[in-house]
Amino acid sequence: MIDKYSTKRAAVREHSKMQEVLMDPAAEGPEVHYWMTRGSIEWTNITIWNVGKVGEEYIKTYGHYHVGDLDETYTVLQGKGIVLLQKRAIGEDGKYIDDEIEEAYAIDAKPGDKIFIPSEWGHLVANTGNIFLVTSDDSPVNFEEVDPVSLPGHADYEAVKKMQGFCYYICQKDGKSALVKNPKYKKVPEISIIEASAYPLHK
What is the pLDDT, as a whole number, of residue 201? 83
Q: How many helices (H) and strands (E) does the chain have?
A: 2, 16
What is the pLDDT, as a whole number, of residue 155? 82
How many angstroms separate the Cα of 125 from the Cα of each of 7, 33, 90, 128, 163? Answer: 25, 12, 24, 9, 17
**pLDDT over 70 (residue 134):** yes
pLDDT digits (tens, 9 = 90+) for 149-172: 555 657 899 999 999 999 999 999
17-47 as b/e, with b when 16 or more CB fall inside 10 Å? ebeebbbeeeeebeebbbbbbbbeeeebbbb
CA-closest candidate to residue 124, choices 174, 176, 68, 182: 182
What is the pLDDT, as a whole number, of residue 67? 83
What is the pLDDT, as a whole number, of residue 150? 59
What is the pLDDT, as a whole number, of residue 118? 93
Q: List, in order of start, the domains of the chain with CATH numbers.
A: 6-198 (2.60.120.10)
pLDDT digits (tens, 9 = 90+) for 42-74: 678 999 999 999 999 999 999 999 888 889 999
Among residues of the chain, what percentage have pLDDT more than 90?
78
